[in-house]
Amino acid sequence: MTSERLAADVIIVGSGNAGLVAGLAAQQAGCSVLMIEKGDQALAGGNTRYTAGAMRFAYDSRDDLLPLLCAPDDPRLASADFGAYPRSKFAEDLLGFNDGAELTAEQRFLVDDSLPTMQWLADLGLRFDPIWGRQSFEHEGRRVFWGGLTLEATGEGDGLYHAERDLFLSRGGELRYETEMESLIVEDRDGVPVTCGVRTARGEELRSDAVVLACGGFESNTEQRVAHMGEEWRHARVRGTPHNTGAGLRVAYEAGAARHGVYENCHATPMDLHMVEFGNLDLAPIERKHYRKICYFLGVMVNAAGVRFVDEGKNFRNYTYAQFGRAILQQPGGFAWQLFDAKVDDLLYGEYRFHDAHYVESKTLDGLIEQLDGVDQDQARSTVAAFNEAVDETVPFEPTVLDGRSAVGLTPPRSNWAQRLDTPPFRAYPVTGGITFTYGGLHVDDAGAVLREDGSAIAGLHACGELVGGVFLAGYPGGSGLTSGAVFGRRAGTGAAQRARAAAV
């Protein structure tokens, strides 16, 4: 194919973190890149702009982190204890969410390429900040980071999107907003079907030597959620973009792609029960993350029956929050209440003080429980009383570690950070489950090329981001999503560029 006929060497569908990284990788390999985005400029960027920007990756010491930082001379760094997060620990954390299955090939690649990808992004000019507020606590004069999650993109997810987008454009990339993909252009080349562009919903034919699908999963498609995950997902709140409706999966299936991964599972987070719907354009994407409610480990969570239903302190919240959204949706009515006392006010994240946070408050526990709409209040009183009685106060409360401060003899158990609810004023927050992204997707090879059931690659078609199946199975350690998007975006962009160069010969 001659270059005169091409809209670009590589076309990328979707402008989130994965797509932009794929674009940067293809540019670095010497290819021209056209990115098309279904949304307008205000809603571009996929789910990336709705995140807090945290990125989990393997590192051996602070020496691996300092070259990545936006402000390496920050005086706070002198007292920062970042610890280490070796590849073995990252692999162990992923295994903890595999329901007994071994690490997948995708998970091994994510672990091994996580630090190199972060270093590559830094070489391109992107920078990151320590997560001072959400991932560290003061302890004996040190700022101790916990849970293996230490850095976030400068400006959080919205800042990451704008930094990557601006870099992509500055390097000659083209980004067309309000350009929806309708189908792939597939042509027969010597008996082989080859993907050579996309058709848009306006009827345009945009030709290229390779296409990268980076347009998300199916979390914003109610029918697909119900079909793959069950009826309780019909009323789930969608945390992110309204545009992830499964279009990338649809066109890939039409091209013969195999399904890969666990379609019945997803990332789902406790969210404010009264959060706005995802399609509300009046709320800036950067604000949407404030509807999360993920400090349940500092209090008690009860359902409509007035009973606890998870171990709120099972592990650090960045290992449990992506599963507890599902747990809430599976409760009667698909909601719960999170109860706290004043002892933990200074530890609650900013989303609990967000101007639109919904809560009730009282100077007494009885007065608080009387305001829990939809809850068996007599049982809730008994649940809280039993919890308070069971707290083992001989063990010190220490939020920087799994402190073993339990509530003894309860079902479900309470393993860490148990404290009596005994200090007024008391607050309770109504929550539901909010879906972030789906786990089921496509099977890709070492070049990010989409595979058929027989393991053969679909010529000219690559995928990254949420569309890659097999990365997360039954859950995920927090911060892995953006890193996965970057790791598999880099691979897909590089592979697409190799395909484009070969086709041009």
Within this chain, do residues 414 and 454 fall inside the same structural domain, yes or no? Answer: no
Q: Which span out of 275-284, 317-326, 395-404 was modeled with the highest average pLDDT?
A: 395-404
Query: Residue 306: which pLDDT band, with cuts at 50, 70 and 90?
Result: very high
pLDDT for 350: 80
Residue 169 DSSP label: H
For the chain, give the percent of residues with pLDDT over 90: 85
Which of 381, 415, 434 lies at the terminal end of a domain, its last residue?
Answer: 434
Residue 68 DSSP label: G
Within this chain, do residues 211 and 284 fall inside the same structural domain, yes or no? Answer: no
pTM, whole model, 2 decimals? 0.89
Burial of residue 40 (CB within 10 Å: 0-12, 13-18, 19+) is: exposed
Within this chain, do residues 44 and 169 fall inside the same structural domain, yes or no? Answer: yes
pLDDT for 289: 57
Within this chain, do residues 329 and 372 fall inside the same structural domain, yes or no? Answer: yes
Which of 434, 463, 491 lies at the terminal end of a domain, its last residue?
Answer: 434
Query: Residue 134: which pLDDT band, with cuts at 50, 70 and 90?
Result: confident
Q: What is the pLDDT of residues 231-246, one digit of tens each?
A: 989 988 888 899 999 9
Q: Are 10 and 32 in contact (CB under 8 A)?
A: yes
Within this chain, do residues 28 and 152 fall inside the same structural domain, yes or no? Answer: yes
Closest CA to 52 of 359, 268, 355, 292: 292
Tell me what the mean pLDDT of segment 379-391 comes to: 98
Cα separation, 236 vs 261, in Å, equals 21
Q: Is residue 142 over pLDDT 60? A: yes
Q: Is residue 7 over pLDDT 60? A: yes
User: What value does the mean pLDDT of the chain take?
Assistant: 94
pLDDT for 254: 97
Alpha helical stretches, state H, 125-231: 156-170, 222-229
Q: Give the C-alpha distances (Å, rounded to integers) separating 259 from 248, 249, 253, 467.
A: 12, 9, 8, 10
Which of 381, 401, 434 lies at the terminal end of a domain, its last residue?
Answer: 434
Within this chain, do residues 403 and 448 fall inside the same structural domain, yes or no? Answer: no
Domain count, the chain: 2
pLDDT for 278: 56
pLDDT for 301: 98
Residue found by looking up tokens 């994407």 in the block: 285
Q: Are 378 and 364 in contact (CB under 8 A)?
A: no
The three-state (H, E, C) secondary structure of 437-505, written as one string: EECCEECECCCCEEEECCCCEEEEEEECHHHECCCCCCCCCCCHHHHHHHHHHHHHHHHHHHHHHHHHC
pLDDT for 349: 83
The answer to whether residue 210 sits within a structural domain is yes
Within this chain, do residues 390 and 334 fall inside the same structural domain, yes or no? Answer: yes
Q: Give the C-alpha distances (Å, rounded to integers) separating 288 from 78, 216, 493.
A: 33, 18, 29
Q: What is the pLDDT of residues 31-61, one digit of tens each?
A: 999 999 999 998 899 999 988 899 999 999 9
Q: Is residue 355 over pLDDT 90? A: no
Query: Residue 318: which pLDDT band, with cuts at 50, 70 and 90?
Result: confident
Q: What is the pLDDT of residues 179-232, one digit of tens each?
A: 999 999 999 999 999 999 999 999 999 999 999 999 999 999 999 999 999 998
pLDDT for 341: 98
Within this chain, do residues 359 and 391 fall inside the same structural domain, yes or no? Answer: yes
Within this chain, do residues 147 and 206 fall inside the same structural domain, yes or no? Answer: yes
H or E element, residue 391: none
Tell me what the mean pLDDT of segment 282-297 comes to: 70
Q: 39 CB contacts (<8 Å, ≥6 apart)? A: 45, 177, 178, 241, 243
The answer to whether residue 264 sits within a structural domain is no
Domain of 208 in residue numbering reads as 3-218+439-504
The answer to whether residue 446 sits within a structural domain is yes
The three-state (H, E, C) secondary structure of 104-151, written as one string: CHHHHHHHHHHHHHHHHHHHHCCCEEECCCCCEEEECCEEEECCCCCE
Q: Is residue 2 over pLDDT 50? A: no
Within this chain, do residues 211 and 289 fall inside the same structural domain, yes or no? Answer: no
Query: Residue 288: which pLDDT band, with cuts at 50, 70 and 90?
Result: low
Within this chain, do residues 453 and 329 fall inside the same structural domain, yes or no? Answer: no
The answer to whether residue 97 sits within a structural domain is yes
pLDDT for 379: 98
Task: Provide the CATH number for the domain around residue 13.
Answer: 3.50.50.60
The answer to whether residue 346 sits within a structural domain is yes
Q: How far is CA 288 from the centre of its chain?
A: 13
Q: Is residue 383 over pLDDT 60? A: yes
Tell me what the mean pLDDT of segment 333-362 comes to: 92
The answer to whether residue 373 sits within a structural domain is yes
The answer to whether residue 258 sits within a structural domain is no
Q: What is the pLDDT of residues 402-456, one digit of tens each?
A: 999 999 999 999 999 999 999 999 999 999 999 999 999 999 999 999 999 999 9
For the chain, give the percent of residues with pLDDT over 70: 96
Q: What is the pLDDT of residues 157-192, one digit of tens each?
A: 999 999 999 999 999 999 999 999 999 999 999 999
What is the CA angle 175-70-155, rounded to 5? Answer: 50
What phi, psi does 467 have (nearest 5°)?
Answer: -75, -15
Within this chain, do residues 405 and 478 fall inside the same structural domain, yes or no? Answer: no
Tell me what the mean pLDDT of segment 386-400 comes to: 96
Cα separation, 171 vs 95, in Å, equals 38
Q: Is residue 469 over pLDDT 90? A: yes
Task: Provide the CATH number for the domain around residue 322.
Answer: 3.90.700.10
The answer to whether residue 261 sits within a structural domain is no
Please report, as a single letter, which amino acid is at residue 37: E
Query: Residue 3: which pLDDT band, with cuts at 50, 70 and 90?
Result: very low
Cα separation, 333 vs 239, in Å, equals 19
